[in-house]
Structure 1
Amino acid sequence: MDLFSRSWTALRTAVAQLPDEDFAKPSGCAGWLVRDLVCHLVIDAQDILITLVTPAEAEPTRDAVTYWDIAATPPTGDEPLDALTVRLAAAYEGPGLLKFHLDDVGSAAGRAAGLTDPGLRVGTRGEVLTAGDYLRAYVLEWTLHHLDLVAHHPDAAGPPAEGLARSREMLERIVGAAFPASFSDRAALLIGTGRRATTDEEKAELGELAAKLPLYLG
């Protein structure tokens, strides 16, 4: 729960500190500008608020690792929600309003997470998880999107080191194998999720694992 808070706070702080002109630049999400990514974070915050007040009686069907669905192909931006995100982002009058909305809804989502019993069962996407597992899954979400946010902005602060390490651990559990020890946490996450291509040397180090990558998480 604490790592969720630190990762989410770091991501929202990085958004707040970005110059307005950077919102029209590409993000690390293929086909999305920074403003589209930030709008997606607003939607994520809304989803967290909704999920944490949607209790479930059934036994959990997913945990922080199995929460993720794996797609065979990269996202194209044609999915209805992806396309809606881009239209919503364009509807904001400027980055200032988008920053304000993320801070407003995002702060509320952070407070709600801090007040929630980790053992509470919640329902989302037709599945049941404990609130703790649901929020742990979002550590990976926040870390990947923090990397997306700063992909073309080398001077911007990146995600916390502990968030990178935990996210790498989760990705390794999802894929069922460990990345080479020579890979940094950042490299493992970028390569593992198709955000960066491997070099010939990296591919050789990956060995059989290279055939399982990248993973497109949804």
Structure 2
Amino acid sequence: MDLFSLSWTALRSAVADVPDEDFDRPSGCTGWLVRDLVCHLVIDAQDVLITLVTPAASAPTVDAVTYWRLVGPPTGEDPLDALVPRLAAAYGGPELLRFHLDDVGGAAGRAAVLADPAARVGTRDEVLTAGDYLSAYVLEWTLHHLDLIAHLPSTAGPPAETLAASRAALEAIAGAPFPAAFSDKDALLIGTGRRPATTAERTALGDLAARLPLVLG
């Protein structure tokens, strides 16, 4: 729960510090500008609010690791992926988009603090505890924080604690550790295909290299 708040607060603070002119620069999400990524974060925040007030009575079907599904690389044909750039453009500029993220994102952050970690919630036709759901989102926020700063070197990056937790989560999803020589940031970027591995890195990855990237959905 603390890592959720830490990662989400850091990401929202980083967005708040992005100059208006940088909203039209590319993000680390293929095909999305920074403004598109921020719009996606608004939708994510709405999803958090919806899920935390969607109680479930049945036993959990997934946890913080198995919540994530391995999907193929984006094709541009997913309706939501196609909607996001159009929706972001409709904001007309960074000011309203930034305000909406602060407004809805702040509510999501408060809801997370108030949530009972043991309560069962439903989302994506699955059931899991609120604690596991929020833990899963640490990986989401951290990866998108890296996406935000991909071409904005002066913007603050994710906290070390959330980078480490996200690496551990990705290793659990992969079922294997990344080489100890990899920094947490590099493990996340290479592991999810956000940057290609060098020849030396592929050698260090061994058999795991053939299973990358891990595209999460």
The bucket for the TM-score relative to the shorter chain is over 0.9
* Alignment of 1:33 onto 2:33: yes
Question: How do 1:6-45 residues align onto structure 2 when only pairs under 5 Å count?
Answer: 6-45=6-45
The residue identity in structure 2 corresponding to 1:190 is L
What secondary structure is seen at the aligned counterpart in 2 of 1:23?
A: helix
Runs of 4+ deviating beyond 3 Å = none
What secondary structure is seen at the aligned counterpart in 1 of 2:4?
A: helix
CA deviation string 1:159-197 (max 9, x = no partner): 010000000000000000000000000000000000000
TM-score, scaled to structure 2: 0.99
CA deviation string 1:131-179 (max 9, x = no partner): 0000000000000000000000111100010000000000000000000
What secondary structure is seen at the aligned counterpart in 2 of 1:129?
A: strand
Report the alpha carbon displacement of residue 84 of structure 1 after superposing the two structures with TM: 1.0
**Matched residue, 2:163:** 164
CA deviation string 1:75-96 (max 9, x = no partner): 1232001111111001002101
Q: 1-side partners of 2:2 and 2:137: how far apart?
A: 12
Q: 2-side partners of 1:63 and 1:30: how far apart?
A: 28
Structure 1 runs not aligned, ≥5 long: none
- What is the alpha-carbon root mean square deviation over aligned residues? 0.5
Q: 1-side partners of 2:77 and 2:95: how far apart?
A: 27
What secondary structure is seen at the aligned counterpart in 2 of 1:100?
A: helix
Q: 1-side partners of 2:105 and 2:189: how far apart?
A: 25
**Matched residue, 2:128:** 129
Question: How do 1:25-174 residues align onto structure 2 when only pairs under 5 Å count?
Answer: 25-71=25-71, 73-174=72-173
Report the alpha carbon displacement of residue 69 of structure 1 after superposing the two structures with TM: 0.7
Q: 2-side partners of 1:109 and 1:127: how far apart?
A: 20
Q: How many residues align?
A: 217
TM-score, scaled to structure 1: 0.99
Structure 2 runs not aligned, ≥5 long: none
Question: How do 1:188-203 residues align onto structure 2 when only pairs under 5 Å count?
Answer: 188-203=187-202
Moved more, 131-140 or 78-87: 78-87
What secondary structure is seen at the aligned counterpart in 1 of 2:55?
A: coil
